[in-house]
Chains A and B, each alone.
Chain A
Amino acid sequence: MNIWSLLIEALESLSANKMRSGLTMLGIVIGVAAVIAMLGIGTGTEESITSEIESIGTNLLYITSGGDATNPEPLTLADVSAMQNIELAPSVEFTAPIIQGRGDIVIPGESTTANIIGITPDYFNVQNADLAEGMQISQKQLDDFESVVILGSTTAEDLFGYTNQLVGETVRINGEIFKIIGVLEEQGGSHLTNMDEQVLVPLTSAKSRLMKRENPNEVDLIYAQARSADDVPQAEEEVSQILRSRHRSTLGEDDFDIMSTQTFLDMASTVTSTLTLFLGGVAGISLLVGGIGIMNIMLVTVVERTREIGLRKAMGARRSDILIQFLVESSFLSLGGGFIGIALGYMISFFIGQIASGSSITLNPVIQWNSILMATLFSAAVGLFFGIFPANRAASLEPVEALRTD
């Protein structure tokens, strides 16, 4: 028997019972579609989270007070100055301390709440904070405790209803008058920390007028940017040394935390790949159920076609001829179902991506070639695996017995 006539015969006998073949295939279609869609969504989530984290910049360190110590000493501006010392921290390029808190922003007739962030001019070197209009906060404004503010685009929109030509207007933040000197460009809603809902003020003004801290030099968070991504471990080590010696925690536990973008990336990819694996595994179970459906139908088919098998054997078909014939049929079901399933899974993940972007979540499902390849191979394997038992039963029929049945 050559391959071509095998395929034609398999198609003929499958199309003899279209409804049954279709329903059997449906099991595989659903299984494969689920696997493809889940893997696509999982990988898409992973990629969008990764690219979001990477957009923050991969050579940034986040230093906060805390650590394992029971009574951590807060971070101060003196710590910042030490990190800015080129001899103590040669791998650190920029250091930007911030303090932050919630506050009410009010103009006559409108009010909103926003994240108020007290910054130094270096903030603009370590964060994506491009201005749609106006200018950055200068060293002079910082030194002079000036009451100036840069609005995030959402905050500006909420207050004024528009985001342009706001420079020169004033707002009240927690009752204090601040002059608008700039508006940030819209960043998009998908960022981990929503930059559009914040307002930037000079660190000095924030401390003196908006947020009281026990220690006047206290800061909430220090950004330290390494000179390059390769310098990140070195910069982390230098910052740790500075803080240990300054906080006299050399012998005890560190009373600070340093996180790098890499830490976030690692955390995120651990979570998302576990998620992807879990989703794929659950979908894989439905593929398995589809395979059992194939086995079931093939067993019924063998019983129904006992006489045909007997006849074929009488005409000289060997055991292997019959075995192959039934394996080709079950593979046809599973591979056919697999291909339809890949297409369906592609569409499902596309629609889910559309729905997600409708609710302003960036999610581009990524259908990788290897998941298509895997789905194809897996469905072929399902067809073969679950086909072997019925096919072997057919091939083992004694011709005399098989011809005798009605």
Chain B
Amino acid sequence: MSNDWVVEANTLTKTYQMGEIEVHALRGLSMKIERGEVVSIMGPSGSGKSTLMNILGCLDRPSTGDYYLDRENVAYMNENQLAMIRNKKVGFVFQSFNLLPRSTAMSNVELPLRYASMSAGYRHRFAQEALESVGLANRLYHRPNELSGGQQQRVAIARAIVNNPSILMADEPTGNLDSKSGDEIMNLLLNLNKDRGTTLIIVTHDPEIADLTERVIYIRDGKVEMEK
């Protein structure tokens, strides 16, 4: 039986030039994630965790190695192709929400669809559905400063899932929230995974959050240290 790998990374390396010093952020890291899985990535700071997240989210390219996202090798794609992959296959949830402050929840969620050149009618429909699925049906036209932290993060999640991505990358999604809203956000993400089958990759250093996921990958010194 062949597994349906949505993420397949083979011996990734990433080297930064910091002045005269070469920094090896990733040193031959390999990992696989199956479609529909919930995975958390943990590691101390400086472990290469952020670099790995940037590469998995197609914000950056590895120095060497192959990265298949949805069976497509994105390691050698150019800037515009990566932009298209991010637009179609990746959803991002950030610790600090990163909403456009002057735009309504609706137009924030519409943003990825705009870059996909979708017509206004469809954009509106999909954005509304996404906002309803995160429980903000009655907050469609509120601006970020009229919403609580938890609600803002829900808008961000709606924005991340509106293009129906292959992977949803969440970077410390509860880091800026109190524990109650944090729990709600985690429940929402896990439910989205259950209901929609969205592959969920959570980068965190909070063991409690990691405990909620099926699989935890520990990174240290640019390699996978252990899995459980």
Q: If the complex has contacts A16-B102, A400-B54, are A316 and B117 also in contact, measured as CB distance less than 8 A?
A: no
User: Are B86 and A319 in touch, CB under 8 angstroms?
Assistant: no
Q: Bound complex: CA of A318 vs CA of B94, how far in Å?
A: 20
B172 in the interface (beta carbon within 8 A): no
Q: Which residues of A contact B115 (CB under 8 A)?
A: 1, 312, 315-318, 321
Total contacting residues, chain B, CB less than 8 A: 26
A245 in the interface (beta carbon within 8 A): no
A54 in the interface (beta carbon within 8 A): no
Chain A residues 303 to 347 lying within 8 A of chain B, measured CB to CB, are 307-308, 311-319, 321
In the assembled complex, how far is the CB of residue A110 from the closest CB belonging to chain B, in whole angstroms?
A: 78
B47 in the interface (beta carbon within 8 A): no
In the assembled complex, how far is the CB of residue B58 from the closest CB belonging to chain A, in whole angstroms?
A: 9
User: Are A314 and B102 in touch, CB under 8 angstroms?
Assistant: no
In the assembled complex, how far is the CB of residue B157 from the closest CB belonging to chain A, in whole angstroms?
A: 14
User: Are A1 and B114 in touch, CB under 8 angstroms?
Assistant: yes
Q: Which of A2, A13, A16 contacts B117 (CB 8 A)?
A: A2
Total A-B pairs in contact (CB under 8 Å)? 61
In the assembled complex, how far is the CB of residue A18 from the closest CB belonging to chain B, in whole angstroms?
A: 12
User: Are A315 and B112 in touch, CB under 8 angstroms?
Assistant: yes
In the assembled complex, how far is the CB of residue A53 from the closest CB belonging to chain B, in whole angstroms?
A: 60
Q: Which residues of B contact A311 (CB under 8 A)?
A: 94, 98, 100
Q: Which of A12, A308, A313 contacts B83 (CB 8 A)?
A: A313
Q: Which residues of A contact B54 (CB under 8 A)?
A: 400
A370 in the interface (beta carbon within 8 A): no
User: Are A317 and B83 in touch, CB under 8 angstroms?
Assistant: yes
Q: Bound complex: CA of A299 vs CA of B112, how far in Å?
A: 25
B88 in the interface (beta carbon within 8 A): yes
Mark each residue of chain B from 98 to 134: 1 if its CB lies under 8 Å from any CB of chain A, else 0: 1010110000000110111100100000000000000
User: Are A316 and B102 in touch, CB under 8 angstroms?
Assistant: no
B206 in the interface (beta carbon within 8 A): no
Q: Bound complex: CA of A382 vs CA of B84, how far in Å?
A: 32
Q: Which residues of B contact A2 (CB under 8 A)?
A: 117, 120
Q: Which residues of B contact A316 (CB under 8 A)?
A: 83-84, 86-88, 112, 115-116, 163
B60 in the interface (beta carbon within 8 A): yes
User: Are B112 and A308 in touch, CB under 8 angstroms?
Assistant: no
Q: If the complex has contacts A308-B100, A403-B94, are A315 and B60 also in contact, measured as CB distance less than 8 A?
A: no
Q: Which residues of B contact A16 (CB under 8 A)?
A: 102
Q: Which residues of B contact A390 (CB under 8 A)?
A: none
Most buried by A among B83, B88, B100: B83
Q: Bound complex: CA of A316 vs CA of B82, how far in Å?
A: 8
User: Are B79 and A12 in touch, CB under 8 angstroms?
Assistant: no
User: Are A319 and B102 in touch, CB under 8 angstroms?
Assistant: no
A5 in the interface (beta carbon within 8 A): yes
A40 in the interface (beta carbon within 8 A): no
A202 in the interface (beta carbon within 8 A): no
Q: Which residues of A contact B92 (CB under 8 A)?
A: 314-315
In the assembled complex, how far is the CB of residue A15 from the closest CB belonging to chain B, in whole angstroms?
A: 8
Q: Bound complex: CA of A5 vs CA of B106, how far in Å?
A: 14
Q: Which residues of A contact B79 (CB under 8 A)?
A: 318-319
In the assembled complex, how far is the CB of residue A400 from the closest CB belonging to chain B, in whole angstroms?
A: 5
CB closest chain-B residue, reference A406: B96
Q: Bound complex: CA of A1 vs CA of B117, how far in Å?
A: 5
Q: Bound complex: CA of A312 vs CA of B159, how far in Å?
A: 12
User: Are B57 and A314 in touch, CB under 8 angstroms?
Assistant: yes
Q: If the complex has contacts A1-B117, A400-B54, are A319 and B80 also in contact, measured as CB distance less than 8 A?
A: yes
User: Are B59 and A403 in touch, CB under 8 angstroms?
Assistant: yes
In the assembled complex, how far is the CB of residue B84 from the closest CB belonging to chain A, in whole angstroms?
A: 7
Mark each residue of chain A from 72 to 91: 1 if its CB lies under 8 Å from any CB of chain B, else 0: 00000000000000000000
In the assembled complex, how far is the CB of residue B50 from the closest CB belonging to chain A, in whole angstroms?
A: 9
A399 in the interface (beta carbon within 8 A): yes
Q: Bound complex: CA of A98 vs CA of B163, how far in Å?
A: 93
Q: Bound complex: CA of A124 vs CA of B129, how far in Å?
A: 91
Q: Which residues of B contact A403 (CB under 8 A)?
A: 59, 94, 98
Most buried by B among A16, A319, A398, A403: A403
Q: Bound complex: CA of A398 vs CA of B60, how far in Å?
A: 9
User: Are A13 and B102 in touch, CB under 8 angstroms?
Assistant: yes
User: Are A315 and B80 in touch, CB under 8 angstroms?
Assistant: no
Q: Which residues of B contact A13 (CB under 8 A)?
A: 102
Q: Which residues of B contact A313 (CB under 8 A)?
A: 59, 83, 86
Q: Bound complex: CA of A296 vs CA of B218, how far in Å?
A: 47
Q: Which residues of A contact B117 (CB under 8 A)?
A: 1-2
User: Are A315 and B159 in touch, CB under 8 angstroms?
Assistant: yes
CB closest chain-A residue, reference B60: A400
Residues of B within 8 A of A (CB): 54, 57, 59-60, 79-80, 83-84, 86-88, 92, 94, 98, 100, 102-103, 111-112, 114-117, 120, 159, 163
| A-B CB contact pairs (8 Å), 14 listed | A1-B115, A307-B98, A311-B94, A311-B98, A313-B59, A313-B83, A314-B86, A316-B87, A316-B115, A318-B115, A319-B83, A398-B60, A399-B59, A399-B60
7 tightest CB-CB pairs across the interface, nearest first?
A: A316-B87, A316-B115, A318-B83, A315-B112, A311-B98, A399-B59, A316-B86
Other A-B pairs, 4, CB within 8 Å; known A311-B98, A313-B83: A1-B117, A314-B86, A315-B86, A318-B115
Residues of A within 8 A of B (CB): 1-2, 5, 12-13, 16, 307-308, 311-319, 321, 398-400, 403
